[in-house]
Structure 1
Amino acid sequence: MSQAAAETPSTVDHQERAWSMPLEDINVADGALFQDDAIWPYFERLRKEAPVHKGHSDEFGDYWSVTRYEDIMAVDTNHHVFSSEGAITLADPLEDFRAPMFIAMDPPKHDKQRITVQPIVAPKNLQNWEGLIRERTGLILDQLPRNETFDWVDKVSIELTTMMLATLFDFPFEERRRLTRWSDVATGRDNPEIYKSEEQWRGELMECLEAFTGLWNDRVNSDTPGNDLISMLASGESTKNMDPMEYLGNIILLIVGGNDTTRNSMTGSVYALNKFAGEYDKLIADPSLIPNLSSEIIRWQTPLAHMRRTALEDIELNGQMIKKGDKVAMWYVSGNRDTAVFENADDVIIDRPNARRQMSFGYGIHRCVGNRLGELQIKILWEELLKRFPKIEVMEEPTRTRSPFVKGYTYMPVRIPA
């Protein structure tokens, strides 16, 4: 699939529109732009002309967009001024349905809750899991049909990530697809393709809480201490007395963190290597590039497009005065395409020298807890793919998530040549 073939009339229209419309009218929080893969010229213009930009969304209200790499770093590493308390997305929580989570907290509570679950991704645990991940990956790949079109998202990306999630939670393995659904619901409050009513949205999240409350009670009453995330939360000094909604919030955080980011990078990697076919050939010729490929894909894909902060005081950033209480969106997806840092940033270059400078995992105290696990899963996937198949062919453009937060895929037809 060539880059030219992937270009559609809508992307050409957006290229013209992005550079001709008034700056103040640009709204990069429009989920439709992400669904159509048409967001790029808008970010390019903001980086060039208004790197700290005041925008408005009918869904989210007024917000600041920070789009250059260095400015994003400045916000992300200054939690004393730019707070995570309450929300890490542009959508404000519902007053009567708040589910606090440690990523949306400031120190000291954030630090105490984060350190409770951090051992799950300690180096020793990663070493122990590597064999299991490799075995499962091989089993999934060996079951794929040859010379027949199938959905990569469903057959591979979702399967592999839900298997890992079920292991992390010690969740009933046969029910693991429920984890995917709860992840989609939790991040899709403003997406009519995910749910039909607010009542349904609340109801499904309460089903999640009910299921995980049962698992919590099992762990608390067990004579054998577990080494899973629920056991860690149930025994942690800062988490064992959480109220139900705070427990739900932290469970949602861990599900989304372990699900959306990895599954969309797995899909994005196959899509990217078809879009940039020369890089696929380069990888086949030199599989030692796989670790760097993982970093480059995470940069190019950027599974979570933004993180939101709230200003605790008036502060100037790149010539703009941000007022106390203002919403500030750090657009990682734009920072990862900043040509001041990444040469030919829109291209996938699997031997890119500075690929590890990607900012998809964030910086500062909120840097992604499971980043090494995500990289390991992508690395193993490609090691096992290259052992088995000459190439995976993407048959047509994938369909994408309608979201300015989760930058993902809902369907991607592929074929493995016989």
Structure 2
Amino acid sequence: MAETVPVQHLPRPRISYRKPARPHYLERDDYVKPASEIDLDAIDFVDVEQWRQHKMWDRFARLRKEDPVHYTPDSPVGPYWSITRYEDVKAVDVDNKRFSSDASYGGITLGKPLEEFTAESFISADEPDHWNQRKPMQPAVAPALLRNEFEPLIRERTRAVLDSLPDDKPFDWVEAVSTELTAMMLATLLGYPQERRRELTRWSDVTTNPFDPDICPGGREQWLQELNACLGTFSTIYAERQSAPPTNDLISLLAHGPATRNLSPQELLGNVLLLIIGGNDTTRNTMSGGIYALNKFPDEYAKLRDDPGLIPNMVSEMIRWQTPLAYMRRTALEDVSMHGKTIRKGDQVAMWYISANRDERFWEQDPDALIIDRKQAKDHISFGFGIHRCYGNRLAELQLRILWEEIMQRFTHIEVIDEPSRTSSAFVHGYTWLPVICHRKA
């Protein structure tokens, strides 16, 4: 995969510290009550304010204990079931005969797609369509490519970004590091112009936060306009790649794959957005979440300084602790009994990966803590399980490992100086602002 823009000539990110403004109604401290003060039937994880305030943990803990297969009858996305224990989430994820991902049933997110805009992709398909569309893209993350091309490229970029950071001055880690590094990698994967790479992260934010007034102040109309712009851009690129010899970038692989060379506009947009979100949000938010977690657990930071050899295992633990995509949806294809409840044919089912990764029944050590040498760390379910397991997981782990190897070469401590601002989303569990000060080694 050719890299046309030298790292040293890439535009630098804006280094800022300013905390993003929030609409006044989102600043209420009493907006989200503790789980103990609400009726069990009233627990609804779609309410994004509990995610922005990070007050969903006691709700998940209560459901795991009292109601592991929980029905929410009244929600903005319609009624749905919540699966919250590790083994139950895993069981649903691998049961493709009784639980469907297909877009014709609603796909992988709760609620009905907006009538004005539908997007279909291989993640929202069942077999054999899922594998037929997924298979052509495997060469983009082949082990030899990761080792021989991506690893040196990622390391060079990571060094350049970290060396550009200010010393002993506050700045926003999300903007300057997490978003910047993932945008560069995403542009490379898609064969997209590096000078326009922030368009990709913008489309990711718009897709996953369509009604957040900070992201789309123009509401649904703006959301539709921006996704139409994304479709128009990639329709042109897709047509160009169809006419050119095949390469290993993802759009070329789609353009030449037997099952993906003639995608409809909806299918093209769905697959492009899947690749953008999958290549952006998982890595970007774990890059930020890892910094935040080590500051919350300073003994673990000290452990890391004493033994940087723990980084590979720590990466898995950070992905578990953060769980960047909180859930995936399935639709029941028949009546299914679980824990004395009957999930009816056609019901929406949310597999809460974020809860499974904190399940006291599975994790032998405190699941709410970051423990960088946790023996079970690689058993996390953040990448999903079964046929839909994230095919870019090795690339995400590579980016995170290199980042922390280079951090430990340069800094004694990256200090978080305020609580972060978080995404207003029940789907993407992430950060919009994380203020830090870097203390560089002498």
TM score, norm. by length of structure 2: 0.90
1:328, 1:249 → 2: CA distance?
21
Q: Is the 8 A contact 1:133 1:164 kept in 2?
A: yes
2:139, 2:422 → 1: CA distance?
33
How do 1:216-231 residues align onto structure 2 when only pairs under 5 Å count? 216-222=238-244, 224-231=245-252
Q: Secondary structure at the match of 2:254?
A: helix
> Percent same amino acid among aligned pairs?
54
Structure 1 residues not aligned, in runs of 5+: 1-8
> Are residues 58 and 190 of structure 1, via their aligned partners in 2, closer, same or farther at CA, if it must alter by over 3 Å?
farther
Which residue among 292, 295, 307 is the counterpart of 1:274?
A: 295
| Structure 1 residue 209, shift from structure 2 partner | 1.0
Aligned residue in 2 for 1:27? 44
| Structure 1 residue 340, shift from structure 2 partner | 1.1
| Structure 1 residue 225, shift from structure 2 partner | 2.5
Aligned residue in 2 for 1:3? none
2:164, 2:52 → 1: CA distance?
30
> Are residues 319 and 10 of structure 1, via their aligned partners in 2, closer, same or farther at CA, if it must alter by over 3 Å?
farther
| Structure 1 residue 187, shift from structure 2 partner | 1.1
Q: Is the 8 A contact 1:302 1:336 kept in 2?
A: yes
Which residue among 131, 134, 144 is the counterpart of 1:114?
A: 134
Which residue among 82, 90, 94 is the counterpart of 1:65?
A: 82
Aligned residue in 2 for 1:89? 109
| Structure 1 residue 220, shift from structure 2 partner | 2.0
Cα deviations across residues 278-309 of structure 1 (Å, max 9, x unaligned)?
Answer: 10010010001000110000000000001000
Cα deviations across residues 116-154 of structure 1 (Å, max 9, x unaligned)?
Answer: 111211111111210100000000000000010000000
Cα deviations across residues 47-69 of structure 1 (Å, max 9, x unaligned)?
Answer: 00000000145321111000000
> Are residues 26 and 32 of structure 1, via their aligned partners in 2, closer, same or farther at CA, if it must alter by over 3 Å?
same
Q: Is the 8 A contact 2:84 2:356 kept in 1?
A: yes
> Which AA in structure 2 matches 1:344?
D
| Structure 1 residue 417, shift from structure 2 partner | 2.5
Which residue among 92, 97, 115 is the counterpart of 1:80?
A: 97
Which residue among 186, 190, 207 is the counterpart of 1:169?
A: 190
1:311, 1:190 → 2: CA distance?
28
| Structure 1 residue 319, shift from structure 2 partner | 1.4
> Are residues 310 and 227 of structure 1, via their aligned partners in 2, closer, same or farther at CA, if it must alter by over 3 Å?
same
| Structure 1 residue 190, shift from structure 2 partner | 3.5
| Structure 1 residue 192, shift from structure 2 partner | 2.9
Aligned residue in 2 for 1:324? 345
Aligned residue in 2 for 1:243? 264
Aligned residue in 2 for 1:5? none
1:291, 1:255 → 2: CA distance?
25
Aligned residue in 2 for 1:6? none
Aligned residue in 2 for 1:372? 394
Aligned residue in 1 for 2:178? 157
> Are residues 415 and 56 of structure 1, via their aligned partners in 2, closer, same or farther at CA, if it must alter by over 3 Å?
farther
Which residue among 419, 423, 431 is the counterpart of 1:409?
A: 431
2:200, 2:34 → 1: CA distance?
39
> Which AA in structure 1 matches 2:303?
K
Cα deviations across residues 185-208 of structure 1 (Å, max 9, x unaligned)?
Answer: 111123333212211111101111
> Are residues 63 and 101 of structure 1, via their aligned partners in 2, closer, same or farther at CA, if it must alter by over 3 Å?
same
TM score, norm. by length of structure 1: 0.95
Runs of 4+ in 1 over 6 A off after TM superposition: 9-13
> Are residues 12 and 347 of structure 1, via their aligned partners in 2, closer, same or farther at CA, if it must alter by over 3 Å?
farther
How do 1:270-349 residues align onto structure 2 when only pairs under 5 Å count? 270-342=291-363, 343-349=365-371
Q: Is the 8 A contact 1:30 1:57 kept in 2?
A: no
2:31, 2:83 → 1: CA distance?
24
Q: Secondary structure at the match of 2:350?
A: strand
Q: Secondary structure at the match of 2:70?
A: strand
Q: Is the 8 A contact 1:169 1:229 kept in 2?
A: yes
Q: Is the 8 A contact 2:168 2:437 kept in 1?
A: yes
Q: Would you say 1:393 and 2:415 are equivalent positions?
A: yes
Q: Is the 8 A contact 1:71 1:318 kept in 2?
A: no
> Which AA in structure 2 matches 1:62?
P
Count of residues in correspondence between the two structures: 408
> Which AA in structure 1 matches 2:279?
G
Aligned residue in 1 for 2:121? 101
> Are residues 204 and 57 of structure 1, via their aligned partners in 2, closer, same or farther at CA, if it must alter by over 3 Å?
farther
Q: Is the 8 A contact 1:11 1:37 kept in 2?
A: no
Q: Is the 8 A contact 2:46 2:75 kept in 1?
A: no
Q: Is the 8 A contact 1:28 1:43 kept in 2?
A: no
> Which AA in structure 1 matches 2:76?
E
| Structure 1 residue 11, shift from structure 2 partner | 8.8
2:184, 2:145 → 1: CA distance?
16
> Are residues 88 and 238 of structure 1, via their aligned partners in 2, closer, same or farther at CA, if it must alter by over 3 Å?
same
Aligned residue in 1 for 2:65? 48
Which residue among 37, 47, 53 is the counterpart of 1:36?
A: 53
| Structure 1 residue 217, shift from structure 2 partner | 2.3
Structure 2 residues not aligned, in runs of 5+: 1-26
Q: Would you say 1:192 and 2:213 are equivalent positions?
A: yes
